[in-house]
Amino acid sequence: MSVPENDIHWYTGEKPGWHEYRIDRTHPTSFEWLIYYDSIVNWILENIDMPHRHSRWVIQPEHALFRFRYERNYLQFILRWS
């Protein structure tokens, strides 16, 4: 598993107005939830141009939140992960 070192990639209140998507935890174990989250973050890093500049993500025990500066990235994310 290769979770990036900046696993929590924003602070509360940062980047208001960005497109936000929330994924609720559906996996029964914490390990499965982390593997799923890791696959999403890896997808962002591979598919979003300049991901550390144009996207934000944070994982919490009950859900994960993702923000995107550009609508095109947000829509691409939704098509893949919703």
Tell me the domain boundaries of the chain.
27-56
Query: What's the rounded Cα separation, in Å, for the pair 22 and 64?
Result: 6
Query: What's the rounded Cα separation, in Å, for the pair 10 and 72?
Result: 20
Residues 6+ apart with CB under 8 A from 60: none
pTM of the model: 0.79
Which tokens go with 64? Answer: 């994960």
Q: pLDDT band at 73, cuts 50/70/90?
A: very high
Query: What's the rounded Cα separation, in Å, for the pair 70 and 3?
Result: 24
pLDDT digits (tens, 9 = 90+) for 14-67: 667 899 999 999 888 888 988 999 999 999 999 999 999 999 999 888 899 999
Size (the chain), residues? 82
What is the CB-side half-sphere exposure of residue 11 using CA atoms within 13 A?
1
Is residue 2 over pLDDT 70?
no
